[in-house]
Amino acid sequence: MNNRSQLLKGIRPTIEIDNSKSTDLEVFQSVSLRPILKLQNEVILSLINNFLAEHKVVVKNLTPNKKIERLHDIFKNNIQQKQLMLGVVIGHFTNDEIVFYNANKKETTKRIITMLLERVCSQLELLEF
């Protein structure tokens, strides 16, 4: 493992999950995606709040279900924001993880976006605009 990969893995939080009966994609999700999303949580929330402010999307007065709906619409309709969020995660991949990502790009991208949305939607109280 090269120095960059060691450094990246060293700063990730550890999440204990039994992967003994998991597929390669599930192992990748548990070992790589979950720790990266947890590490990048503050950045993700900051970027979402910045997007909401720049586009004057008011969510404070909405019900939780409407907030979730609005967030899903942002990721569905705003390709630039979706790509930015993917970059926040993919930028923390090791060389081996990049190889795996490229071999499984469609499914991995889908998992990243789903997990990212779940993470943001579980912290609706931190949306500021």
16, 35 contact by CB (below 8 A): no
For 58-75, write each residue's pLDDT tens digit.
888 889 999 999 999 999
pTM for the whole structure:
0.92
For 91-104, write each residue's pLDDT tens digit.
999 999 999 999 99
- pLDDT over 70 (residue 1): no
User: What is the model's pLDDT at position 5?
Assistant: 94
For 48-60, write each residue's pLDDT tens digit.
999 999 999 888 8
Query: How far apart are alpha carbons 49 and 71 in whole angstroms?
Result: 11
Residue 78: pLDDT band (50, 70, 90) is very high
User: What is the model's pLDDT at position 128?
Assistant: 79
CA angle 83, 89, 90 (to 5 degrees): 80
- pLDDT over 70 (residue 20): yes
CA 28, 75, 46, 53: dihedral to nearest 10 degrees?
180
Query: How far apart are alpha carbons 14 and 36 in whole angstroms?
Result: 10
User: What is the model's pLDDT at position 82?
Assistant: 96
